[in-house]
Amino acid sequence: MSELADHAVFLDFDGTLVDIAERPDAIRVAPGLPDLLTALSSRAGGAVAVVTGRTVADVDRYLRPALLDICGLHGLERRVGGTLSRPEGLADLSSEVAALRAAFSRRPGVLVEDKTVGVALHWRLAPEAEDEAKAAMAALAGKLGPGYRLQDGKAVRELVPAASGKGGAIRALMERPPYRGRIPVFVGDDRTDEHGFEAVNALGGVSVKIGPCPTAATRRLPGTASFRDWLRLWEAGGASVENLPAA
């Protein structure tokens, strides 16, 4: 029996399944990745989910025709077993998004990403704007109050509802079939994935960090290409999570 039959697999998207791009809409999906994820999910009895800051619809757009369970918006938006759910009562941030765009309209390379229930400010193309971008997001967080929190990633600061979090999304899926009773595996690359690593570690699972930097993860691979290569081997029964290098 494949090792996958005993595991519940949770995968970050940007920086894990696909390389990070200068803009969120400029990513490229490696040939064969959707088919690989479909085969992986089949071997794992459906216990495979993408856990990401993107929306469910955005991930679907890149991974068609694969139809996976997805926890989007850092777990706020979930499609599990084909059923999509989102919490009610979240604030409309359209005016805040518009204000940020106006404030950075003369800053080429700074991108304001509207996530409807949250907003992200990217400065990968304008590293000199980092301090200004962080200060603007901190001011917005102060305005919105304790119902929201800031989280930093690679050249991005994001404002999200306080109830969101990849660790909580993973724990919630682990309480329902087909995930329940399995060993969780979570693979991610960024600071926003650390709570997911901590949750999986607490559940006795395997946490895998992609790339350098200190981490709570117990295992590590150097990059997205090496992870995709390993994932193909794992799906085919030629690799084991227990044999991954220690972090």
Active-site residue list: 12
Place of tokens 């690593």: 197
What is the edge-to-edge ordering of all strands in the sheet holding 156-161? 111-114, 119-122, 156-161, 148-153
* Cα distance between residue 151 and residue 120, in whole Å: 9
Contact status, residue 74 vs residue 165, Cβ threshold 8 Å: yes
**How far apart (Å, rounded) are the C-alpha atoms in residues 71 and 195?**
14
Phi/psi-derived region of residue 22, left when phi > 0, alpha when psi is between -120 and 50, beta in every other case? alpha
What angle do helix axes 33-43 and 224-235 make, rounded to 10 degrees?
40
Quote the longest CA-to-CA distance of the chain.
Answer: 58
Task: Provide the b/e sequence for 134-147 (b: ≥16 CB within 10 Å).
Answer: eebbeebbeebeee
Structure tokens at 230: 């390993």
At residue 149's C-alpha, the angle toward residues 189 and 20, to 5°, is 25
Ordered DSSP codes for 189-206 = -SGGGHHHHHHHHHTT-E
